[in-house]
Structure 1
Amino acid sequence: MSSSSSFELNKIAGAVLGTLMLTLGLSIVAEEIFKQEKPEKAGYELADAAPAATAEAPAASQDPPLAELVAKASVEKGAAIFKKCAACHTDDQSGKNGVGPNLFGVIGGPKGHKADFAYSDAIKALHDKGETWTPDDFYHFIKSPQAFAKGTKMSFAGLPKPQDRADILVYLNSKSEKPIDLPK
């Protein structure tokens, strides 16, 4: 081996070792700059959540009384809010079922009111008990369908604003051959 080739090998080895040392040094410096303190307790504190409601016992809410909300409710606002629902539901008397059932006549009607729709077992069980969609039940259902009827196929997260739920309730009540009297 000639001295020039060993000199070349020494330069290559020096470059590789120098690069490794520089990388290690930068890693140590970066670790110090971006050091994060570990929390005393792992995870996040969650506020105590109210127990999930069931169809038999909707959870008591901090919402204003339904009668107050209905008094301020608007069919027009409900129609505008219903556009969110229209991706899955229709609301006209001769409307077809979509991903969800047609909602014409749902308020005051039986739970699982469309015989030609494949409801989840959760809604079928309510239908089999002879339950109807009271204004209060429907109001709580659209707040959180999964909390109201565990196992429902309805994947909609719900409407968090009480007035929006009241507006939808008034709107859908108007979409019926026999609208029912709403709370006053």
Structure 2
Amino acid sequence: MSSSSSFELNKIAGAILGTLMLSLGLGIVSGEYFKSEKPAKAGYELPDATPAAAGAPAAAQDPPLAEVLAKASADRGAAIFKKCAACHTDDKGGKNGVGPNLFGVIGGPKGHKDDFAYSDAVKALHDKKETWSADDFYHFIKGPQAFIKGTKMTFVGLPKPQDRADVLLYLNSQSDKPIDLPKS
């Protein structure tokens, strides 16, 4: 190797090292300049999500079901149900999707579709002959994971009581045997 090619290699290596050192130095300086304060407590405050036992009583902050049902609309419920339609069908004889077909679910047994693979938690409720009362369904769709610990349903839920009452009224109409709903 000639001394001029060795000199050229040294210049290239020096340029690379100089660029790396400049980048490192700028990173350190900008890290100090844009330093963020560490929070006193890590993370975010979340609402209490303590899972309730299956069939748990109504949450204290919800108005009584009869009160919100008095203002409920099956038409609004049908529109809100479109969120559910990604996983569920609601027509008579409809096929299961990711979730079971919900025709006749209100007043019917929990785990009402024999051709659907429910979680062990829902199967246990089915084995106990539990049915979907209006109140149970109203609170289940608020937070499925909190209402039935171990359910496979990953839907976050409908936090607004009126939305839940609307869906309940709608799904109750999607049945050969609609149940009598609470009245105020």
TM-score, normalization: structure 1? 0.83
2:63 counterpart letter in structure 1: P
1:20 CA displacement: 5.9
User: Deviations for 1:42-74, whole angstroms, at most 9, x for unmatched residues?
Assistant: x13525615322223235231211111101100
Aligned residues of 1:67 and 1:183 also touching (Cα < 8 A): yes
1:26 counterpart letter in structure 2: L
Aligned partner of 1:124 in structure 2 is 123
Q: Distance in 1 between matches of 2:102 and 2:20?
A: 68
Q: Distance in 1 between matches of 2:154 and 2:14?
A: 62
Any idea what SS the aligned residue of 1:72 has?
coil
**Please, what is the CA RMSD of the aligned residues?**
2.8
Aligned partner of 1:167 in structure 2 is 166
Aligned partner of 1:95 in structure 2 is 94
Q: Distance in 2 between matches of 1:77 and 1:91?
A: 15
Larger Rg: 1
TM-score, normalization: structure 2? 0.83
Q: Distance in 2 between matches of 1:56 and 1:114?
A: 19
Residues 1:70 and 2:34 are matched in the alignment:
no
The runs of at least 4 consecutive aligned structure 1 residues that moved more than 6 Å come to: none
Q: Distance in 2 between matches of 1:19 and 1:90?
A: 61
Using the aligned pairs only, state the percent identity: 75
2:128 counterpart letter in structure 1: K
1:23 CA displacement: 4.2
Unmatched segments (≥5 aa) in structure 2: none
- C-alpha change, 1:53 and 1:92, in structure 2 (3 Å) is same
User: Deviations for 1:65-92, whole angstroms, at most 9, x for unmatched residues?
Assistant: 1111101100111111111112221212
The size of the alignment, in residue pairs, is 182
Q: Distance in 2 between matches of 1:26 and 1:86?
A: 52
Aligned partner of 1:35 in structure 2 is 35
Aligned pairs for 1:82-161 within 5 A: 82-161=81-160
